[in-house]
Amino acid sequence: MTRLSVARLHLALTAGLALTLAPALAADQERIITLGGSVTEIAVALGAEDRLVARDTTSTYPDRITALPDVGYIRALSPENVLALNPDLIIAEGDAGPPEAVAVLAAAGLPFLTVPEATDPEGVVAKIMAVAQALDLQAEGAALAEQVTADLAAARARAAGVDAPKRILFVLSLQGGRVMAGGEGTEAEGIIRLAGGVNAAAGFQGYKPMTDEAVLQAAPDVILMMDREGDLAIADADVLAQPALGATPAGVSGAIVRMDGNLMLGFGPRTPEAADLLFQAFYGSGN
């Protein structure tokens, strides 16, 4: 994305959000709650950390942000927990929920902004500009967007230069022994492409279970997963013990790559870093 296209995007977002955010921009936004890891990261990167009074469970970067009160998981919000902190503004990722909770928050008489979700580089820049507009930090947003745009362009160019892209299968979970994978239009597919790979899970949208036959047909060279702890953790041995995964090229070679979920799928300011780390994991640092 060129500087000109970033500027045009800025103007479009400004025009589109003006009516929604007019009350927020007229008020003193000294008490802000961010819901969603990428939104929180953007707010901190823009220099608004001192205005944040709470965050959701997925907002864990930078580490110091976890000292803020936690109002709950972004998809299982309690309006009471959020409103009890008397925020001046709420900024949320697009998948905030449940819908009933979001409706209560949006009708509470204070500015509530839902930031568009992102699965590609353009979406990252749109997120940055939307949050910057909400915080009345347009100049900081333009500077951050320009830097991230340049880094994303470098990642795209590197990915385009891969002669033999590897087939990557993102495994979200193993529910009842079945592979839950990231299909077309997902954040997983977006980061796989940005890291120079090809999504091995084709023919379906979103995150869905795959049959053993479909997994074998996908024939991934690499299995990509989130690095999880506790009850959600899945050991390499468990992955390779799944009959279909164990029989794929990735399973035979033991090619399993893990990354922090927020870094890999957040599509925020650190997305270029995630793409760089995954590229090195897929192809080696010498490329």
Tell me where in the chain the CATH 3.40.50.1980 domain(s) lie: 3-157, 167-283
Element (H, E) at 92: strand 89-93
- For residue 109, what are its two tokens? 């008489």
Cis bond upstream, residue 62 (ω within 30) = yes
CA–CA dist 60, 66 (Å, integer): 6
- Does the model's pTM come out above 0.85? yes
Q: Are 171 and 203 within 8 A, CB to CB?
A: no
Query: Count of alpha carbons within 13 Å of 130, Cβ hemisphere only?
Result: 26
Taking the chain, what is the end-to-end CA distance rounded to the nearest angstrom? 24
CA–CA dist 27, 73 (Å, integer): 28
CA–CA dist 183, 206 (Å, integer): 5
CATH number for the segment(s) 3-157: 3.40.50.1980
Q: Are 87 and 31 within 8 A, CB to CB?
A: yes
Q: Which residue has the tokens 């953007």?
A: 42
Task: Give the torsion through C-alpha atoms of 64, 153, 94, 47, to 10 deg.
Answer: 40
- For residue 272, what are its two tokens? 């270029």
The Cα diameter of the chain in Å comes to 60
- For residue 226, what are its two tokens? 């989130």
**Residues 128-154: pLDDT tens digits?**
999 999 999 999 999 999 999 999 999
**Residues 193-248: pLDDT tens digits?**
999 999 999 999 999 999 999 999 999 999 999 998 877 788 999 999 999 999 99
Cis bond upstream, residue 165 (ω within 30) = no
Let me know how long the chain is. 287
Backbone angles phi, psi at 52, to 5 degrees: -85, 130
Q: What integer pLDDT is reported at residue 6 of this predicted model?
A: 42
- Parallel, antiparallel or unpaired: strands 167-175 and 178-182: antiparallel
CA–CA dist 14, 133 (Å, integer): 7
pLDDT less than 50: residues of the chain: 1-27
Q: Are 137 and 47 within 8 A, CB to CB?
A: yes
Amino acid at 286: G
Q: What integer pLDDT is reported at residue 28 of this predicted model?
A: 58
For domain 167-283, give the CATH superfamily. Nitrogenase molybdenum iron protein domain (3.40.50.1980)
- β-pair partners for 33: 54, 90
The Cα angle at residue 265 between residues 261 and 268, in degrees rounded to 5: 115
Element (H, E) at 108: none
Q: What integer pLDDT is reported at residue 32 of this predicted model?
A: 96
Q: Are 75 and 94 within 8 A, CB to CB?
A: no
Q: Which residue has the tokens 């997902």?
A: 186
